[in-house]
Amino acid sequence: MSDSNIIVAEHLVKQFQEKVAVNDVSLHIGQRELLVLVGPSGCGKTTTLRLLAGLEPVTSGKIQFGDRLVNEIRPKDRNIAMVFQDYAIFPHMTVFENIAYGLRSRHTAGSIIKERVPNAAKMFRIDHLLKRKPRQLSGGERQRVALARALVRDADLYLYDEPLANLDAQLRHQAREDILLLHREKEKPSVYVTHDQSEAMALGDRIAVMRDGKIQQIGTGTELYDRPLSEFVAFFIGTPSINLFDAELKAEEDAIDLITSSFTLRLPVEMHEKVQEAIGKRVNLGIRPEDLQSPKSAQFPVSEENTIHGMVNVIEPTSAGCTVYLSMLEDEPKDFVATFKARLPASYIGREVPLAVNRRKMHLFDQETGRSLLYG
Ligand SMILES: Nc1ncnc2c1ncn2[C@@H]1O[C@H](COP(=O)(O)OP(=O)(O)OP(=O)(O)O)[C@@H](O)[C@H]1O
Ligand SMILES: [Mg+2]
Using DSSP, state whether 341 is helix, strand or coil. coil
Q: Compute, in angstroms, the gap from residue 44 CA to the centroid of ligand 1.
A: 6
Interatomic CA distance for residues 12 and 342, integer angstroms: 47
Q: Which domains does the chain have, with CATH numbers?
A: 7-236 (3.40.50.300), 243-366 (no CATH)
Using CB distances shorter than 6 Å, the residues near ligand 1 are 16, 19, 21, 41-47, 85, 195
pTM of the model: 0.91
Closest CA to 120 of 182, 164, 32, 165: 182
Interatomic CA distance for residues 176 and 46, integer angstroms: 19
DSSP 8-state symbol, 128:
G
Q: Compute, in angstroms, the gap from residue 194 CA to the centroid of ligand 2.
A: 8
216 Cβ partners below 8 Å, 6+ apart?
A: 39, 209, 210, 229, 230, 232, 233
For ligand 1, atom 8, the nearest C-alpha belongs to 47
| Model confidence pLDDT, tens digit, residues 173-217 | 888 988 998 899 889 999 999 988 889 999 999 999 999 999 999
Interatomic CA distance for residues 349 and 336, integer angstroms: 14
Residue 238 falls in which region: left (phi positive, over 0), alpha (psi -120 to 50) or beta: left
For ligand 1, atom 25, the nearest C-alpha belongs to 41
Q: Compute, in angstroms, the gap from residue 45 CA to the centroid of ligand 2.
A: 6
Q: What is the mean pLDDT of the chain?
A: 93
Share of the chain above pLDDT 70, in %: 98
Assess whether pLDDT exceeds 80 at residue 2: no
- What DSSP line would sit under 261-296, residue for residue? SS-EEEPPGGGHHHHGGGTTSEEEEEE-GGGEE-TT
Q: Which of 47, 82, 191 to mutate to test the pocket of ligand 1 (most atoms within 8 A of CB)?
A: 47
| Model confidence pLDDT, tens digit, residues 226-262 | 999 999 999 999 999 999 999 999 998 889 999 999 9
The atom number, within ligand 1, closest to the CA of 50 reads 18
Interatomic CA distance for residues 369 and 278, integer angstroms: 12
* 65-74 mean pLDDT: 92
